[in-house]
Amino acid sequence: MPAMEEKRITVAYGDGIGPEIMSATLEILDAAGAQIATDVIEIGEQVYRSGNSAGIAEESWQTLLQNGVFLKAPITTPQGGGYKSLNVTIRKTLGLYANIRPCRSYAPFVRTKHPEMDLVVIRENEEDLYGGIEHRQTDEVYQCLKLISRPGCERIARYCFEFARQAGRKKVTCFTKDNIMKMTDGLFRQVFSEVGRDYPDIEQEHWIIDIGAAKLADTPEAFDVILVPNLYGDIVSDIAAQIGGSVGLAGSANIGESFAMFEAIHGSAPDIAGKGIANPSGLLLGAIQMLVHIGQGKVAEKIHNGWLKTIEDGIHTGELYQEGLSKKRVGTKEFANAVKERLGESPSHFAPVQYGDSTTLDLRYERSSSYTPPQQRLVGVDVFLAEDNRDAESLAERLNNASNSLPLSLEMITNRGTKVWPHGRPETFCTDHWRCRFSASKDELEPSVIWKLLELLHQHDLRTIKTENLYYFGDERGFSLGQGQK
Ligand code: NAD
């Protein structure tokens, strides 16, 4: 093997079973000849409990930024309010936009109903409902903002297709709910199709997420690479890992332009912490993705094949152990020793893994220089109101009285998205949260009219809670119609 350059990485031993599985993983990496030096940082429960609500100290950020590559054991997020998810913070702060979760079955050595399954979930990692932008707007109604951006979609779609091509995968399936969320999920799907045109060698399809997830749970062998927005990806990848045999067997890579983080997909398993029985495989498979990322594909290959051989030889930790399928029940350390003993061996049942010299993709996002944004035209405003009286007719009358001096008109009122004025139905259940759509009387609205409108509504004792401007982008309407609106 040609001499490899040593790479300095950041390591966190985490909580619960974290220290046990991290020690086992690093021992295997060392025995396989991985050229890494480690800087250890402390994250998780102890840091949270010391009063740091982010779960990570400032100096640890410096280490993370300096090294660029992070191997992380699971952590425990203390119950109760005020603690931020460290995973989400790290992903978003370091711009780790792509989450790659290979999920496959290891039949007949690990029990599964889906012996042919071998797929990769590629999850957008920064956007969607995970922005954590939530508000209580009225006594009765709470809101969570779903943000999807074109650059976010372009980056993840491009990553996904490049990944598929590099990994020799044949098909990419996109899951969205664009029949309902036509603008946000619609954009994700549209960009998937646009970017997909550059990859005619790869089969492409789209499924609505609900039936797609059902199909995945039933026939996972029909999928190859799955591209999904953040929230669906979180759910779908756990389903895929579980039906493959165990969430304990899945590793995950979080990749950005300058940084990357590798981990197991399972949590800190406090119920078995300290007992020496945890399966280190999820973290080890994450570490294998890391070795590929840092250009040590040959070492990754050696470990992966030794690990497959260990699984084939029926050497299993307790949660996988099955009478008749397994040969020997082992603890964390014994399992690690079994993998070390098999370094350099190839599996005989499973196809040996080959990474060669390939590295994880390094894609830089650049908006095309020929792009000119469309002209943005303000044509109205949605004003959201808190109002206890559930009578839409009288609310419309008050709104019309308040706004009749302005160059706009009340077009509709909806309650939780359903049109209740004009021509509402008495059967529609109403809360104290109303969306009132005002449209410009002319082609375009002066922004100052909106400020004036808000002032007038206030003077008429109408409690505004927020506004959303209504724009056209060129000829394209930049807002959805109300349910029931023509
Ligand atoms: P969990 O994944 O920790 O455990 C679920 C079940 O799977 C438990 O019965 C556990 O014993 C078992 N299990 C998990 N990993 C195993 C392994 N490697 N070997 C053998 N058995 C294993 O999920 P949970 O109990 O819901 O969460 C526990 C804690 O982990 C929570 O504080 C949660 O917030 C945290 N968590 C952290 C991460 C992370 O850091 N990436 C991810 C998920 C959950």
Range of lowest pLDDT (64-73, 233-242, 284-293):
233-242
Retrieve residue 442's tokens. Answer: 């002319």
Final residue before a domain boundary, out of 244, 276, 301: 244
Max mean pLDDT range (41-50, 152-161, 236-245): 152-161
User: Residue 485 has what pLDDT?
Assistant: 67
Does one domain contain both 229 and 253? no
The arithmetic mean of pLDDT across residues 408-431, rounded, is: 94
User: Residue 202 has what pLDDT?
Assistant: 98
Does one domain contain both 172 and 155? yes
Q: Report, in this order, helix, strand and coil percent for the chain, each rounded to 5.
A: 35, 25, 40
Max mean pLDDT range (127-131, 236-240, 407-411): 407-411
In this structure, are residues 254 and 96 in contact, taking their beta carbons and an 8 Å threshold? yes
In this structure, are residues 86 and 12 in contact, taking their beta carbons and an 8 Å threshold? no
Does one domain contain both 160 and 209? yes
Dist CA 146 CA 140 (whole Å): 20
User: Residue 179 has what pLDDT?
Assistant: 95
Does one domain contain both 382 and 467? yes
Retrieve residue 99's tokens. Answer: 């989450």
Pairing of strands 260-264, 69-72: parallel
Instruction: Report the chain's C-alpha Rg in angstroms.
Output: 26
Q: One-letter amino acid identity for 400? A: N
Does one domain contain both 45 and 154? no
Ligand 1 atom 5 nearest Cα: 269
In this structure, are residues 298 and 312 in contact, taking their beta carbons and an 8 Å threshold? no
Q: How many C-beta neighbours within 10 Å does residue 57 have?
A: 15
The arithmetic mean of pLDDT across residues 221-249, rounded, is: 92
Task: Identify the residues whose C-beta falls under 6 Å from ligand 1.
Answer: 17, 21, 74-77, 87, 248, 263, 266-272, 278-279, 282, 319
Final residue before a domain boundary, out of 182, 215, 244: 244
> What CATH number did the domain enclosing 436 receive?
3.30.70.1570
Does one domain contain both 249 and 352? yes
Digit-coded pLDDT (tens) for 51-61: 888 889 889 99
**Distance from the alpha carbon of residue 317 to the mean position of ligand 1, in angstroms:** 15
Of residues 81 and 293, more confidence is placed in 293
pTM above 0.75, yes or no: yes
The reply to whether 105 falls in a domain is: no
Q: Which residues contact 474 (CB under 8 A, 6 or more apart)?
A: 374, 375
The reply to whether 369 falls in a domain is: no
Does one domain contain both 217 and 289? no
Does one domain contain both 254 and 346? yes
The arithmetic mean of pLDDT across residues 100-112, rounded, is: 91
Percent of the chain whose pLDDT exceeds 70: 97
**Distance from the alpha carbon of residue 269 to the mean position of ligand 1, in angstroms:** 4
- The candidate with the shortest Cα–Cα distance to 14, out of 221, 286, 347, 402, is 286
Does one domain contain both 265 and 344? yes
**Distance from the alpha carbon of residue 302 to the mean position of ligand 1, in angstroms:** 28
- The candidate with the shortest Cα–Cα distance to 362, out of 80, 149, 163, is 163
Give yes or no for residue 301 having a pLDDT over 70: yes
Burial letters for 296-327: b for 16+ Cβ neighbours within 10 Å, e otherwise? bbbbbbbbbbbbbbbbbbbbbbeebeeeeebe
User: Residue 54 has what pLDDT?
Assistant: 83
Does one domain contain both 27 and 124? no
Percent of the chain whose pLDDT exceeds 90: 79
The reply to whether 15 falls in a domain is: yes
The arithmetic mean of pLDDT across residues 88-116, rounded, is: 91
The number of domains in the chain is 3
The reply to whether 102 falls in a domain is: no
Digit-coded pLDDT (tens) for 191-207: 999 999 999 999 999 99
Give yes or no for residue 2 having a pLDDT over 60: no
Q: What is the mean pLDDT of the chain?
A: 93
Does one domain contain both 237 and 250? no
> Which is the closest atom of ligand 1 to the Cα of 280?
18
Digit-coded pLDDT (tens) for 367-396: 777 888 999 999 999 999 999 999 999 999
Give yes or no for residue 1 having a pLDDT over 70: no
Retrieve residue 349's tokens. Answer: 């049942």
Final residue before a domain boundary, out of 328, 361, 394: 361
Does one domain contain both 223 and 277? no
**Measured on CA atoms in the order 181, 158, 6, 339, is the torsion positive or negative?**
positive
Retrieve residue 226's tokens. Answer: 């799955």
Ligand 1 atom 18 nearest Cα: 279
Q: Which residues contact 437 (CB under 8 A, 6 or more apart)?
A: 380, 381, 382, 410, 411, 412, 413, 414, 470, 482
Dist CA 322 CA 308 (whole Å): 17
> What CATH number did the domain enclosing 199 receive?
3.40.718.10
Dist CA 442 CA 463 (whole Å): 27
Ligand 1 atom 37 nearest Cα: 267
Ligand 1 atom 4 nearest Cα: 269
The reply to whether 482 falls in a domain is: no
- The candidate with the shortest Cα–Cα distance to 273, out of 13, 12, 10, 52, is 13
**Distance from the alpha carbon of residue 267 to the mean position of ligand 1, in angstroms:** 3
The reply to whether 486 falls in a domain is: no
* Rounded alpha-carbon distances, angstroms, from residue 56 to 41, 93, 214, 269, 283: 9, 12, 38, 20, 20
Range of lowest pLDDT (296-300, 306-310, 324-328, 461-465):
324-328
The reply to whether 108 falls in a domain is: no
Give yes or no for residue 229 having a pLDDT over 80: yes
> Which is the closest atom of ligand 1 to the Cα of 270?
28
- Residue 450 lies in domain: 376-477
User: Residue 360 has what pLDDT?
Assistant: 64
Give the model's confidence band at 366: pLDDT under 50 very low, under 70 low, under 90 confident, else very high: confident
> Which is the closest atom of ligand 1 to the Cα of 263?
41
The reply to whether 24 falls in a domain is: yes
Give the model's confidence band at 415: pLDDT under 50 very low, under 70 low, under 90 confident, else very high: very high
Of residues 53 and 274, more confidence is placed in 274
